Structure 1
């Protein structure tokens, strides 16, 4: 199966420190279910970078993380 490379990236983080565990679980679930959604750690800026197929793609995942955590 051909999976295209992500075309957009954005920094993402939980709103509160207490949400880190749920945030990590949600990110892990998304990356397992969707091969076009990728997450990496930017060591230089100390940020989690989410990559996807478009702005709407990333907005949907960020909204799901906000409402489920």
Structure 2
């Protein structure tokens, strides 16, 4: 019985590790799905950076303080 299991495992491993089965092109996840996931991640990162930048810009003062002469002439 052990020899049968060993032989079955060996045949399966040889089939999985064979050079002709190794290069099949696309993997289990198609290329377009990976591109869509990367695009969604890029949009999420851009949105986060945009929000952080807007929050930072809201903290920047918009009017300058009066100068030593008391302001503009």
* Interval of TM-score (by shorter of Structure 1 and Structure 2): under 0.3
Higher relative contact order (CA 8 A, sep 6+): 1
> Which is richer in helix?
2
TM-score between both structures, scaled by the size of structure 2: 0.24
Larger radius of gyration: 2
